Every structure is written in structure tokens, then in C-alpha cells.
Amino acid sequence: MSVSIVPLSQLPNGGSGRVASLTAQGLIRRHLLDLGLVTGSWVEAIRRSPAGDPAAFNIRGAIIALRNEDANQILISID
């Protein structure tokens, strides 16, 4: 079984995985952690806006929209 690590922004609609790590620093890191994006949390890509940014994700049962700039700082492990 091969596990790949990709930024959350590259997760296709309907794709899912677990948070491997956050590369964000400072206030944005605190905000992402407050949203439930802690190591091991399950995340699913729900949909993207017509322009592709932002995108909606199911994070611990809540639908959260994130800009690609922020989603690039969340690394996801996909089985």
C-alpha cells in the first residue's frame, strides 16, 4: 500500500484523506487548528467554486470553505 502526501488544494472533488501536517505559521496556523485541522483529522473535498478558488471541504462534520492559499499549507495523506 502506497501513501502519498499532497496539499489539500490538490485533493479532487470527492477525494478524502487525513491531515498529515500543517506548514502554516502564526495566526493562520491557529485558525486552521481551531477549524479542526489537526493531525489525523479526516477531510473530504466537497466542491470548488466555478473559478476554482475557494473550495469547500468536510472537516470533522462541518463544511468549511478555504482559499487555495490556505489549503496549500495543509498536507493530506491519501492511501
Taking only the tens of pLDDT, the chain with its 79 residues reads 678 999 999 999 999 999 999 999 999 999 999 999 999 999 999 999 998 899 999 999 999 999 999 999 999 999 7
Query: Does residue 79 contact residue 1 with C-beta atoms inside 8 Å?
Result: yes
The pTM score is 0.89
Residue ranges of the domains in the chain? 4-78
CATH 2.30.30.90 fits 4-78, yes or no: yes
Residue with cell 488544494: 9
Whether the CA torsion 8, 29, 27, 46 is positive or negative: it is positive
Query: Which letter, b or e, does each residue of 9-28 get, where b requires 16 or more Cβ atoms within 10 Å of its Cβ?
Result: bebeeeebbebbebebeeee
